[in-house]
Amino acid sequence: MTVLLPAAGRAAVAWKNGGGVTREIAAFPPGAGMDAFAWRVSLAEVAADGPFSAFPEVERTLTLVEGAGMDLTVGGRRRLVDTRYVPQDFPGDVPTDCRLLGGHVVNFNVMWRRGAAAPTVAVVRGRLSLRAAHALVVALGEGEGEGDGEGVDVAGVRLGRHDAVLLTGEDALLHAHGPTAVVGLTP
């Protein structure tokens, strides 16, 4: 089954600390709150320096999508996040502080409960065959069509910037004209 998850339908939810907003792309189980998800995928807009929210017993993969980046302190250790489309793993329950390097950023976030099967996260371009895929595909690029070299075609669907498709157990051909996140999920 293919489920289209358009960017236009996502509500912005303010962070607990007021430093930004998050837009949930998908979660399991569907509709699960922040304390009950098995996995959650979102786009987060970071507008100000400050601490990240803590998520007990949660692991996360963060990928810079827009902006100059962040200088993070994760559990007392510095981690520079200044290259777009490079997934980075870190624990969600370790104190994390953020200093923006040049203003507002957008991050692609994948979070899951510790002890559960970890999703795989990759950012790809080009053609990729997804066999019996249980995956979430998200267009991360700036453009919306082939004319500007961006956009994504997957399972017969054309995705524009930040649109997504949830694939459950089917073969699909992915043609990523621009940077595209592929999150492998355990069925």
Residue type, 98: C
Average pLDDT taken over every residue of the chain? 92
Residue 144 is predicted with a pLDDT of: 43
Distance CA 124, CA 109 (A): 16
In b/e form, how buried is each residue of 93-132, taking b as 16+ CB within 10 angstroms? eeebebebeeeebbbbbbbbbeeeebbebebbbeebebee
Does residue 7 have a pLDDT over 60? yes
Q: What is the largest CA-CA distance in the chain?
A: 46
Per-residue pLDDT, averaged over 145-157, amounts to: 73
Residue type, 46: V
Residue 147 is predicted with a pLDDT of: 43
Per-residue pLDDT, averaged over 11-23, amounts to: 87
Distance CA 100, CA 10 (A): 25
Residue 149 is predicted with a pLDDT of: 58
Per-residue pLDDT, averaged over 8-28, amounts to: 89
Distance CA 50, CA 41 (A): 22
- On the CB side of 24, how many CA atoms lie within 13 Å of its CA? 16
Q: How confident is the model at residue 142 (pLDDT cuts 50, 70, 90)?
A: low
Coil, strand or helix at 9: helix
Span 119-137, pLDDT tens digits: 999 999 999 999 888 999 9
Span 71-89, pLDDT tens digits: 999 999 999 999 999 999 9
Q: For the chain, how far is it from start to end, CA to CA, in angstroms?
A: 13
Q: How far is CA 70 from CA 25, 28, 59, in A?
A: 22, 28, 19
Domains of the chain: 10-113 (2.60.120.10), 120-184 (2.60.120)
151 vs 79, higher pLDDT: 79
